[in-house]
């Protein structure tokens, strides 16, 4: 790092190592993601934009997926892909969360993602801002137009 003051301006010279942006902790596995954007939501995304992405980390029982209005018990943690692996929220420390499907208690993308899981499955969802917390984000934790990664384990279907 080098700074030089001229008569009118300050010139800042940065070494190349500071000019590159570090890769996302999940970028190496992006090729393994499947686009699971529901048909009714695909119009939100342009040709060059990615929709709702899923990567199965551990297979479930393969039997039954959650249905609309069904209650589920899940473990989840959320991170911002362009930050470190630091969780912005997680159920790991406080215990599993119960959630009624399609009740607007979680972001739309997570709700869509849960509908593709079976009991015992663990998956990573990359939820774009249009299906996450929208243009406004969730200040101060989630910035505006933020993509959010959710690691989710479907523990139980209730009812």
Contact partners, residue 147, CB within 8 Å, separation at least 6: 80, 81, 82, 126, 127, 128, 129, 132
pLDDT at 19: 43
Distance between first and last Cα of the chain: 61
pLDDT at 159: 74
CA torsion sign, 143 to 71 to 50 to 30? positive
Mean pLDDT by 10 residues, the chain (159 residues): 51 50 48 90 89 96 91 94 77 92 89 96 96 92 92 93
pLDDT at 39: 92
């Amino acid at each position: 790092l080098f700074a030089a003051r001229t008569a009118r301006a300050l010139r800042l010279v940065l070494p190349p190592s500071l000019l590159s942006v570090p890769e996302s902790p999940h970028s190496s596995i992006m090729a393994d993601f499947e686009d699971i954007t529901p048909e009714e939501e695909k119009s939100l995304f342009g040709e060059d934009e990615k929709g709702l992405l899923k990567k199965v980390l551990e297979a479930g029982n393969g039997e039954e997926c959650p249905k609309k209005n069904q209650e589920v018990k899940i473990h989840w943690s959320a991170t911002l892909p362009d930050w470190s692996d630091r969780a912005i929220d997680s159920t790991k420390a406080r215990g599993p969360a119960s959630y009624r499907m399609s009740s607007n208690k979680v972001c739309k993308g997570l709700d869509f993602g849960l509908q593709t899981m079976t009991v015992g499955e663990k998956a990573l969802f990359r939820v774009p801002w249009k299906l996450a917390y929208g243009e406004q984000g969730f200040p101060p934790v989630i910035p505006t137009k933020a993509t959010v990664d959710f690691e989710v384990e479907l523990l139980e279907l209730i009812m």
